[in-house]
Structure 1
């Protein structure tokens, strides 16, 4: 009898883990629907580690942010909405009143169009809660044409959105990502 009581909590914990994975890959797409590679999200004690491994981008410094909606409708990706900001802070990693939970350091794209970088998002989680990236509307990752100046409102004066990927605990590509490929 005691064994069955122990198994029930373990099964409940396993069910919760299946709903919100501790690691997942986000497929990134450009404005014409080409895959640029993946961004790996990995829950850590200090937030979410973001492993960027992409190709096919223009060289230089680019802004990257987590956005409030889990849709990436090309070509402008405005469907991703504003930066993920569950605590209603101001924009900018350099802003004393900020930053949005979705604000991230800029990434540097090499001359060959590739980038490999590890970033940390200390104000988000893959677990349940206010700062969870698994919201009812979903969330996404967006890369901009220019760099984020770290202060300007509402998005760091970072230019047009050039790539987007939907954050989802579902292993299949989302509907808007599938439509982009058509």
Structure 2
């Protein structure tokens, strides 16, 4: 059984608020790049860029990053679970830029740690910030988001899924119980 915790309007409002917070905290959008963590983070980054353009009247650069080879669980995967590389696409030099990493759901922090490693391999930003649609807690690493759409306290027996129209044909965030194998 699943329960919707954000509907399409709530997702839109959360992203609008995050866009305003990004502009405010960075005193504009000079030297700003949004980098979405694949898969759903890239769609959120693109939506944030659109909202920022509506507010500021200027385009902010958007890229995406594939963390597959930076994951710390690659050695635990079986041969049947070969990682699928999706590629990193950042057309703007990140050196001395403010990079905002964007993801859908922040949980243990391991995905963000992998994204930080991948980003640092590409250059040396002046600053890296983190924006997430959902922060569900249960961090295993000392990682904290700068911009949060919604804090959702959860138990480890629950799963939080962000569904986006670009992938799932609907905008919503749901929470459900983990299914046992």
TM-score bucket (shorter structure): under 0.3
TM-score by length of 2: 0.26
Higher share in helix:
2
TM-score by length of 1: 0.26
- Structure with greater Cα Rg: 1
